[in-house]
Amino acid sequence: MNKLTINFYSLLFILTIGLSSCFQNKPLTFEESLKQIPNVTVQKIEGDTTYTSYYELYFTQPLDHENPEAGTFKQRVLLGHYAIEKPMVVEIQGYNIWTEKAGELSKLLNANQLTIEHRYFKNSMPDSLDWQYLNIKQAAADQHVVIQALKKIYKNKWITTGISKGGQTTMYHRYFYPNDVDVSVPYVAPLNFAREDKRIHQHLATVGSKECRDKIYQFQLACFKNKKEILPLAKSHAEEKGYSFSMGLEKALDLSILEYSFAFWQWGGIKCKDIPSTNANPEDLFNHLKRVSGMDFFDEISLKPSLAFYHQALTEIGMYSYEVKPFKQYISYNKDLTFDHVFPNDPIREFNPESMQKVNTWLQSDAEKILFIYGEWDTWSATAVNLKENTNCKKFVNPEGAHGTRIRHFPAEMRNEIIKTLEEWLELPIEN
C-alpha cells in the first residue's frame, strides 16, 4: 500500500468520525424533546387542526406527592403546538377533558395549548378510588409537575385558565404554586365557604326581576301541586331513558323541581316568558321541567363519572342545598336536601372549610395577576370571589350573564378593558 492510499484512508476515517459526531450532536426534533420528559408517554394524534401538530401525553403521577410509595396513576394531557416561541395557555380541567379544541384565550393569544385532565376523572382515574388522595393540594401538585416539565421547552409567557370547577382548580393551583405561570384567568369559578353555602339561597331570592322570580316559584309550586299527575310521566320518562335513582323516583322528581330555580339562572337559556303558566296541564309542566332541570342530574349511572366532583364538593370545595321551607305545604322533608344521596351507602362526609378559607385569605392579600370572569345572573356567582382591597387582581362581571359567560360576551367597553388588562400583564399585543 503506497503513501497516497494510506492518506486517502486516513482522510476517509477522519471524515467518517466528523460526520458521525455531527449527526450525534444534531438538535432534537420537537417530538423528540417531548419524549425526553421523564415518566411521560407521547403520541402524535389528530386534534384541533388549527395547531401545527397535536399530541396526547400521559404523565405517570404519584397518588401522594409527599409519599411516592403510595402508588401512581396515569394522567392524560393534551398539547396543541403552534410554535416554541408562542405563549402557552394551560386549560386546567376540573373534570375530564371535554374537547380537543382551542379555548377562548388560546385563540385570543394565538397560543399553544396544554389541557390537563383532573385526577380521578375518566382517563386519569387511579386503579383504586382511594378518596384520601383526592384534594386540591394533590391536584395542584399534578398540574405543577406537568407545567414545569413543559416549561423546559416553552419559554414565552404562561397563562392558566379553567371554566367552572376548572376555574376553581385554576385558583387552587395558583395558590399552591403562585410562580408557575404569569397570569391566570378563572371563568365562572365559585369559592364556597361551607358544605352547603347559604349564599346560593340569598342569590336565588334576589337575582333578576321580582316578576321573573315569582314566575319561577309559581311554576315550582304548580309542579308540586300536580305531582300526583306528573309522577306517571316521570316514571315513563325514566324507563324510556333507563334512569334509576338511589333516592327513589318520587324524591328524584322533588329534587328536579327544587333544582329548577338554580338551573334556570345558572344556564340562562330559557326566558321568563317561556315558563308555563300555573294552570298549564301536567304534561306541559313536566316537559318544561325536564328541559330546564332534567332528571338525569340524579340518575345513578349519570352520576358515576362525577363521583370525584361530589366527593370534593362535600369534603373540601363546597356545594349547595335545596330549600324545602317555601314548599313545605307540598313536601314533607324536615330539613334542606343535600347531595349526600350521591353516596347512598357511605357515611355522611364531613366538610373541612380550612382549605377554602386559606385560599380566600391569599386572594385578599398576596394573589397577583388573576383575572376573574363571572356572569351576573349565574347562580354560582352567589359565591364568586370577593377581592376586597386586592388591586393586583381584577374581577369582571358580565351584566345579566349566565354560567356560559366568556370574554367575547361582555359589552364592548368591558371587553376592551379585559383585553387591555391582559396585554399589560402579559406584555403582549392582543388582536381583539
Burial class (CB in 10 A: 0-12, 13-18, 19+), 17: exposed
**Distances in Å between the alpha carbon of 429 and those of 52, 163, 186, 420?**
22, 24, 21, 9
Is residue 176 pLDDT above 90, yes or no? yes
- Residue-level pLDDT at 4: 46
Q: What is the four-CA torsion angle of 216, 220, 221, 223, rounded to 10 degrees?
A: 140
DSSP-derived secondary structure for 370-403 = BEEEEETT-GGGGGB---TT--SSEEEEETT--T
Single pTM value for the model: 0.92
Q: Which residues contact 100 (CB under 8 A, 6 or more apart)?
A: 47, 48, 54, 78, 80, 115
Task: Provide the β-strand partners of residue 354.
Answer: none
- Residue-level pLDDT at 20: 46
Q: Per-residue pLDDT averaged across 423-432, rounded?
A: 91
> CA-based Rg of the chain, rounded to a whole angstrom?
27
214-248: per-residue pLDDT in tens? 999 999 999 999 999 999 999 999 999 999 999 99
CATH hierarchy code of domain 30-192+354-426:
3.40.50.1820
Q: Using CA atoms, how far apart are residues 383 and 395, in angstroms rounded to an integer?
A: 13
Is residue 335 pLDDT above 80, yes or no? yes
Is residue 344 pLDDT above 60, yes or no? yes
Q: How far apart are the first and last CA of the chain?
A: 75
Is residue 17 pLDDT above 70, yes or no? no
Q: Determine which of 15-29, 103-117, 312-326 has the lowest per-residue pLDDT on average.
A: 15-29
187-198: per-residue pLDDT in tens? 999 999 999 999
The b-or-e profile of 18-56 (16+ CB within 10 A means b, else e) is: eeeeeeeeeeeeeeeebeebeebebeeeebeeebeebbb
**H/E element, 130:** none
Burial class (CB in 10 A: 0-12, 13-18, 19+), 150: buried
Count how many residues are written for the chain. 432
Query: Which ranges in 270-388 belong to alpha helices (H)?
Result: 282-292, 300-303, 307-312, 354-365
- Residue closest to 122 by CA, chosen among 309, 331, 259: 309
pLDDT band at 128 (very low <50, low <70, confident <90, very high): confident
Is residue 211 pLDDT above 60, yes or no? yes
- Residue-level pLDDT at 167: 98
Residue 164: DSSP 8-state:
T
Three-state secondary-structure class, residue 76: strand
Give the mean pLDDT of the chain: 94
- Residue-level pLDDT at 1: 53
Is residue 12 pLDDT above 70, yes or no? no
Is residue 87 pLDDT above 50, yes or no? yes
Give residue limits of the domains in the chain.
Answer: 30-192+354-426, 199-342
